[in-house]
Amino acid sequence: MPKNFENLSDTFNVSSEVVSEEIVSSELATESKSEPTKITSDDIKKDYEYTRGNLYSLIEKGQEAINGILELAQESEMPRAYEVAGQLIKNVADATDKLMELQKKLKDVEEETKVKGPTNVTNALFVGSTAELSKLLKNTKEDKDISKNK
pLDDT, position 118 = 67
Nearest-angstrom CA–CA distance, 48 and 96: 15
Q: How far is CA 77 from CA 14, 68, 69, 74, 82, in A?
A: 77, 14, 11, 5, 8
Split at pLDDT 50, 70, 90, the class of 4 is low
Output the pTM of the full model.
0.49
Nearest-angstrom CA–CA distance, 71 and 77: 10
pLDDT at 32 over 70: no
Task: Return the DSSP state at 3.
Answer: H
HSE, side-chain direction, 13 A CA sphere, residue 22: 3
Q: Which fold has domain 38-106?
A: Helix Hairpins (1.10.287)
For residue range 105-143, list pLDDT tens digits in order. Answer: 888 888 877 767 667 777 777 788 888 888 988 888 888
Split at pLDDT 50, 70, 90, the class of 37 is confident
For residue range 66-104, list pLDDT tens digits in order. Answer: 999 999 999 999 999 999 999 999 999 999 999 999 999
Split at pLDDT 50, 70, 90, the class of 150 is low
Q: Answer yes or no: are the C-beta atoms of 88 and 69 closer than 8 Å.
A: yes
pLDDT, position 115 = 67
The dihedral formed by the CA atoms of 74, 78, 80 and 83, expressed in degrees to the nearest 10: 40
pLDDT, position 78 = 92
